[in-house]
Structure 1
Amino acid sequence: MFDFIPLESYSAVYYHSMMLIMIMIILHAMVYDVYNTKSLNFFNIIGHVFLIVFTLYIGSRPISGAYFADMATYARAYNLMEHGTNLTIDKDYAFNYLMKACAYIMPVKAFFMLIDILYIIPCYIFSKKYFTKYWFYAFFMFVGSFSFWAFGTNGIRNGVGTSFFILSLCFYDRKWVMYSLFIIAILFHSSVIIPFAAFMAAEFYKNPKVYLYAWLAAIPLSLAGGSIWQDLFFNHLGFAERTSGYMEGESAEGSFSATGFRWDFLLYSSFGIIAGYYFIFEKKITDKFYIHLFGVYAIANAFWVLVITANYSNRFAYLSWFLMAPLIAYPMFKYRIWKDQYKVFAVILSIYYLFTYIMFLKNGK
């Protein structure tokens, strides 16, 4: 569908297009008020067009081992299933059995399109539910998040699993539906057990100060403990089976796979912590859902901080990063916080996406 775009430029088109949309949002924010009907209608139309084009763009990407490494691996397994090879399925049952079922009825390109629909649509549903007429701004933050593109093109099992987690949160007041979707999320990728455990911990103990202190304490503990925490979690507490492949150095999203204490990733993670601190402790927001969301993010991210020096630890980081967009955006479109709220949000959105864009430019792909 987008075969006219050179493979080496495929990711770049996404990042540059998002930059143009970001500039468009800023310009509108400088001219219109947040309640302006004309501006809201404009972005409602643009938003739905963007949703369709973006889904088609990411879903119809070329199958390439050079630019989308994991995609080629999945394609090989899919082709074996198409030809009747009986591959052993012993983990991530929802993803693998879905792939097996699809191999009987559709070509591999259609399968990747389906997977990316499952990846993107939950973010749209969440945005529509919690942000109503302002949904596009939240949706833009979702798809403009650092690593969103990578987990839609490479780590697709992980990506779909976290998206089903997001979908689960749309049924926060219907617990049986929410927990059913949590189970499906974990069956897509077992690593989702980490944000689920964080969700349960935050459900049991509802004190945002404790979440904040736990995250802050994780930094010196990680610096002091180093590999001790990796050994504890992966060799003694059973997380190795839940996160198989992360520790062995398998391909993640290529250039973001450096080891060591990642201060740049820690800085990015702190955006969510700072937002939660500001809205809960400074602006006194007592929204039950938001405090719970902050707890999930802080606890799951603290886990990553403890194992930050692991190979491809960005995959662990994404188990909290996927919640950063709603964590930052939710209060700004649920509560009146600033005088020129639309303008302030546009600045925050710009800073948020600029980190993603700069990391893309820095890594060159």
Structure 2
Amino acid sequence: MKEALLLYINAFTYCSFLLALCYTLYIANKEKLQKDNQIPALFIFAILVFYIGTFPYKGLGGDRELYAQGFLQATEWKQNRDVLFMAYNYFCRKIMGLDLWLSLTGFLYVLGIYQLSRKKCKVESTALFVGYITFLFFSAYAVNTMRAGLAASLLLYALVWRDSNKPIYFSLLFCATQIHSSMWLPVLALVLSLYYKNTKVYFYFWLLCIPLSYFAGSYFQQLAQPLVTDFTQLNIKGYLIEKDKMYKSGFRFDFIIYSLIPALLAYYYIYKKKVKDSFYTNIINTYLIANGIWILVIRANFSDRFGYHSWIFIPLLLLYPVLNYKVWPKQQQKIGWIILLQALFTFVLNIR
């Protein structure tokens, strides 16, 4: 990714940190949590779609320019393993230009996250929405790794239907895998943890993955090699195994610590504060499965892209319990601090 592309993403990081700061001040001064007005969230929604849709795609490097080229070339139906994304490009190419396609893709990316926030929070749903905006990978998957971001957004939207309509829920999960086939990992983890719910077993699995990766990581990389896909369809061995001078690889303790924080907070919510919620249990179990598998191949090039399949659940892990249950006194202040600290972490990592 070139410096100019990083500059644009960092500019978004500054803005999202300011948004988190303003929202923290706003929510901390409320007397109590309540059903919030959706007008501010819709205003933020519109700003995000405008930003993503008008984000440059020429001469910046990264995946965005490749996706733009792929859209312009989608004049004929070509069979592809990610059939839904191919169909999306093909039909959009017939009725719209590139600029509108970029805006539509940005709209769909934000829409899934917005709907999840609005439907799964009893109070202050804007807090979860802001939590996702300040999430470490929100901007990168909005404007760079767009296809994975679109698939992840659809997966998150599918969660809206988990308890109310199982056919729609499973259909949307399958559609997410047909936009980006790597979504099979979180989808299978969601299905497995929907039926086997012993969270402590998943915690033990996650902990076991750390020494296994540290001492036998190369073995698991070789084992996972046939299962890994990327949208360029280049040599998978090069993506997983071969060294890339532009990317810091190895056993990433920083990524493991980043993954540990939401897991610890979820453990606190479930076992110390006795939050009993089948949806939340499903999410934390899914996170532990997907993140544990990522830890096993953590030495891979671009391992953050593997980690993303579990990290997309982090804002839910941090905020869902406190937006649906009484956990602390003066809870609105704690919610503000969670959002602000996450935004500060994103800010520090992106500007370093």
TM-score by length of 1: 0.88
Residue number in structure 1 paired with 2:326: 336
Cα deviation for residue 270 of structure 1 reads 1.2
2:22 to 21, 24, 28: 24
Residue 274 of structure 1, CA deviation: 1.1
- Counterpart amino acid of 1:21? L
Q: 1:183 to 1:345 in 2, by over 3 A?
A: same
Contact kept, 8 Å, 2:117 with 2:129, in 1: the verdict is yes
Aligned to 1:10: 8
Task: Tell me the CA shift for residue 241 of structure 1.
Answer: 4.7
Change (3 A) 1:291 1:229: same
State the partner residue of 1:310: 300
- Give the corresponding residue for 2:56: 62
Aligned residue identity for 2:53: G
Asked whether 1:80 is paired with 2:70, we answer no
Structure 2: segments with no counterpart, 5+ residues: none
2:216 maps to 225
In 2, distance between residues paired with 1:207 and 1:7?
Answer: 43
Q: Note the alpha carbon deviations across 1:246-272, whole angstroms, 9 max, x for none.
A: 75349xxx9994211111111111122
Aligned length: 343
Among 190, 202, 213, the alignment partner of 2:181 is 190
- Report 1:271-310 matches (<5 A): 271-310=261-300
**CA RMSD, 1 decimal:** 2.3
Distance 1:247 1:138, change over 3 A: farther
Match of 1:326 in 2: 316
Higher mean C-alpha deviation, range 337-346 or range 120-129: 337-346
Higher relative contact order (CA 8 A, sep 6+): 2
Structure 2 CA distance, aligned partners of 1:21 and 1:61?
A: 19
Q: Deviations over 1:299-330 (max 9, x none)?
A: 01111111000011111000011111011111
The letter for the 2-side match of 1:157 is R
Gaps of 5+ in 1: 1-5
Residue 211 (structure 1) aligns with:
202
- TM-score, normalised to structure 2, is 0.91
Conserved? CA contact 1:63–1:72, under 8 Å: yes
Deviation at 1:16?
Answer: 1.2
**What do residues 102-150 of structure 1 show as CA deviations (whole Å, max 9, x unaligned)?**
1111111111111111111011001000114411110011121111111
CA distance in 2, matches of 1:217, 1:138: 31
For 1:30 and 1:97, how far apart are their aligned partners in 2? 46
